[in-house]
Amino acid sequence: MPKLVSTILVLVALLGARLGYAGSITADLTPTDGTMDDTFVLTLQIEGRDRSDPVIPNVDGLQFLQRGVHQATAIINGQTTEQLQLTVLVVPDKPGDYTIPSIAATIDGQKVATVPLKLKVRPAGAQSQAQARAQQPARGGTNAAQGQPGGETAGVFLERDCGITGPVYIGQQILCTIRLYHPNNLNGGQRLSQSSADFRRFNLEGEKRYQKVVNGQRYSVIELRELVVPTKSGQLDVPPFSIEARVLVWNKQNNPLDKFFDKFGGGVFNFDLNYTEERSVTVTTPAQTLQVKPLPEQGKPPGFNGLVGLFQLESSLSKNHIAAGDTVTITITLQGYGLTDTLGDLAPGLDKFGKIYPDKPEYTEQVTAENGIASKKVYKYALVPTKPGTYDLGSVELPSFNPKLNQYVAIRTDLGQLIVDAAQAESQGQPQVATALPVNKEEVKELGSDLLGFHRHVDLTAQQTITSADKIMLGVLGGLPTSSALGAFIFFLYTNRKKDAEAARRSQAYRVYKLAIPKAQAELQTGNISAALSEGHRLLRTYLGDRLSLQGGALTARDVDFATTRLGATPEIKDVMMNLVSEFDRLEFGGQVPSPERAREMLDSLDQVVKGLEKA
């Protein structure tokens, strides 16, 4: 049977003085070749301002059940026009060849109509043209990556195209396109695909929607994309891509005489819902075989740690001139196209210059179809040099494999030079004890007579002179009470000033949070999910640190648990807090970046936690 065109657009020009956009009516039947098990959907698209209801002629052996109405207003070539979409279920009573006659309507005073549509219905269990097409091989591997278009999936099926015809390397990013075909009966769905031991998978945001005619049948297509990264070598099967789809199907147990208008739902006016039911079906692509090669041994540099992609290294010093005993922060940033989350410490060899305190690395990633996986890992080291001198801190070099060049490359950054001065002494010198001055006998006698009134039993002689050192000691002893009182007063002032500063910090914690949270929300609105959640994580720890007068960035999960209890949080707020901290930590340690919806929920939970702690 020759292939028939199922969609005809009829445009009728407006005549006379009435000029503007011509009204039109479009009829689309999907599929045009199926079995008694399939769901046939007739879609009427009508454009025009003044219109009559279209009339669907009676066809012996077919029932037409109106399911949905959707209305919209559009401006085309400067003219305002109304758009109406009618969705009708076509229910065959028996197999056979059918013709749906022209469907007529009056639009903007003009009569317009569709051309007749052909429909072939085969017995239940028979193979339709669409099913025959599904058995043909698909691109993207050594076997088909395509789903079953009919039968139990109500005409919904998947195909996957990874565009790979030859071997790939471990760690190489593979962009796969998934196409979901449906005969206008899809009512929602959810991805089920996850990573496996052999492949890491990353969903790409966004989708494309269009229509496609396959073997004379028109389908609505939703195009999705994902990145697949193999983690080991061998003949490996990429796990199937699966979607749990919600489809609308005709319930043949219902009586056509029982049809009636039903409630609103699904964003359109749904009628005759007694004739349809929503069914959950799982559509899956077959496993797809890929040949994954190990990275070549030839030319592999010593110390290679599995870094695959295109990267660069940068470094900076917080200060390049300090005193011995002071701290300088050395920041090393690794970024590029590829995954860096599994990379360990860089071991820059800074311990020979003094004490070194490494910070926890910060990891972010962004997944796009244009650039693949772009990731960044930031290492920070606090260095405390103990000896003065001028130090060349050396360099850091990392080997990586570039799959596009098919070779190993080395990326390198110089850490720079650090000048360390001698530590400043806390005191410039020690008090000097004066030597005894010569005292004549007359002075001694006079001093002795002055003292006899108090110490009659003491016979002061020239050999018992009072030296300058003694005078200093007496002065010190005499001044001790005054010094102690002064020191206590200074300590009192310092303690109270510190308490006042901590109290001010606690009172300003919420205000600081409210001033900073818009930055995280702005990052989320621009699509920078990693930056938004990183800022949210920082704000949470800063807020807790301010409330408890602690260093928020050093708080562990156990510290956070204790903090919420100490602040009087309710069990509900405490649970939300701990789940949020756990999710933030997973993201910081290289977990997959969540969807925009989940990121928005995380920021909302953060706001809920902070407000809950303020009320506690």
**What is the DSSP pairing of strand 234-238 with strand 288-293?**
antiparallel
Range of the domain at 548: 507-615
- CATH code for position 77: 2.60.40
- How many CB atoms within 10 Å of residue 439? 13
Residue indicated by tokens 């349809």: 276
- How many CB atoms within 10 Å of residue 261? 11
Q: Collapsing DSSP states into helix, strand and coil, what is residue 462?
A: helix
pLDDT on residue 1: 40
Asked if 252 and 195 sit in the same domain, the reply is yes
Judged by average pLDDT, the poorest of 184-198, 434-448, 559-573 is 434-448
The answer to whether 164 touches 312, Cβ cutoff 8 Å, is no
The mean predicted confidence, pLDDT, of the chain is 75
The answer to whether 62 touches 91, Cβ cutoff 8 Å, is yes
* CA–CA distance, 255 with 582 (Å, rounded to integer): 54
The answer to whether 602 touches 594, Cβ cutoff 8 Å, is yes
Judged by average pLDDT, the poorest of 85-89, 94-98, 257-261, 538-542 is 257-261
Single-letter code of the amino acid located at 197: A
Instruction: Give the residues across from 11 on adjacent strands.
Output: 24
pLDDT on residue 131: 53
Q: Which of 259, 293, 327 is the last residue of a domain?
A: 293
Asked if 180 and 328 sit in the same domain, the reply is no
Residue 432 within any structural domain of the chain: no
Half-sphere exposure of 498 (CA within 13 A, CB side): 8
Spatial neighbors of 52 by CB under 8 A, at least 6 apart, are 105, 106, 107
Residue 178 within any structural domain of the chain: yes
pLDDT on residue 588: 64
Asked if 518 and 459 sit in the same domain, the reply is no
Asked if 249 and 288 sit in the same domain, the reply is yes
Tens digit of each residue's pLDDT (9 = 90 or more) over 385-440 = 988 999 999 999 999 999 888 899 999 999 999 999 987 654 444 444 444 445 45
Residue 502 within any structural domain of the chain: no
Residue 147 within any structural domain of the chain: yes
- How many CB atoms within 10 Å of residue 247? 23
> What length is written for the chain?
616
Report CA torsion sign: 603, 606, 610, 616.
positive
Asked if 144 and 199 sit in the same domain, the reply is yes
Asked if 511 and 580 sit in the same domain, the reply is yes
Concatenating the DSSP letter of every residue in 567-602 gives: TT--HHHHHHHHHHHHHHHHHHTTPPPPPHHHHHHH
Among 112, 106, 130, smallest CA distance to 120 is for 130
pLDDT on residue 589: 59
Confidence at 380, pLDDT banded by 50, 70, 90 = very high
Residue 304 has pLDDT above 60, yes or no: yes
pLDDT on residue 165: 79
Q: Calculate the CA 561 to chain-centre distance.
A: 25
Asked if 241 and 266 sit in the same domain, the reply is yes
Residue 284 within any structural domain of the chain: yes
Q: What is the token pair recorded at 192?
A: 């089920």
The answer to whether 228 touches 176, Cβ cutoff 8 Å, is yes
Q: In degrees to the nearest 10, what's the CA dihedral of 497, 498, 503, 504?
A: 70
Distances (CA, A) of 572 to 509, 542, 559, 565: 21, 21, 18, 12
For 371-417, the three-class secondary structure string (H helix, E strand, C coil) is CEEEEEEEEEEEEEECCCEEEECCEEEEEEEECCCCEEEEEEEECCE
Asked if 230 and 358 sit in the same domain, the reply is no
The answer to whether 213 touches 256, Cβ cutoff 8 Å, is no
Asked if 96 and 158 sit in the same domain, the reply is no
Tens digit of each residue's pLDDT (9 = 90 or more) over 94-113 = 999 999 998 988 888 888 88
The answer to whether 81 touches 49, Cβ cutoff 8 Å, is yes
pLDDT on residue 6: 41
Report CA torsion sign: 601, 605, 608, 614.
negative
- Higher per-residue pLDDT: 99 or 545: 99
* CA–CA distance, 268 with 86 (Å, rounded to integer): 10
Q: Collapsing DSSP states into helix, strand and coil, what is residue 336?
A: strand
Q: In degrees to the nearest 10, what's the CA dihedral of 534, 540, 545, 547?
A: 160
Concatenating the DSSP letter of every residue in 251-316 gives: -TTS-GGG--B---BTTBEEB-GGGEEEEEEEEEPPPEEEEEEPPPSTTPPTT----BSEEEEEEE
Residue 223 has pLDDT above 80, yes or no: yes
pLDDT on residue 79: 60
Residue 105 within any structural domain of the chain: yes
Residue 500 within any structural domain of the chain: no
Instruction: Give the residues across from 40 on adjacent strands.
Output: 90
Before 31, cis peptide (omega within 30)?
Answer: yes
Spatial neighbors of 482 by CB under 8 A, at least 6 apart, are none
- Higher per-residue pLDDT: 520 or 271: 520
Return the beta strands (E) in 123-241 as ranges: 157-161, 168-169, 174-182, 186-191, 199-203, 208-214, 217-230, 234-238
Asked if 245 and 169 sit in the same domain, the reply is yes
Asked if 134 and 227 sit in the same domain, the reply is yes
Q: Which of 61, 87, 122 is the last residue of a domain?
A: 122
Q: Which of 67, 99, 122 is the last residue of a domain?
A: 122
Tens digit of each residue's pLDDT (9 = 90 or more) over 170-184 = 988 889 999 999 888
Among 31, 321, 317, 293, smallest CA distance to 149 is for 31
pLDDT on residue 500: 58
Asked if 608 and 564 sit in the same domain, the reply is yes
Structural domain count, the chain:
5
Confidence at 328, pLDDT banded by 50, 70, 90 = very high
Distances (CA, A) of 536 to 19, 427, 551, 600, 610: 57, 46, 16, 11, 11
Judged by average pLDDT, the poorest of 296-300, 402-406, 556-560 is 556-560
Confidence at 322, pLDDT banded by 50, 70, 90 = very high
- In this prediction, residues 240-263 reach a mean pLDDT of 62
Residue 488 within any structural domain of the chain: no
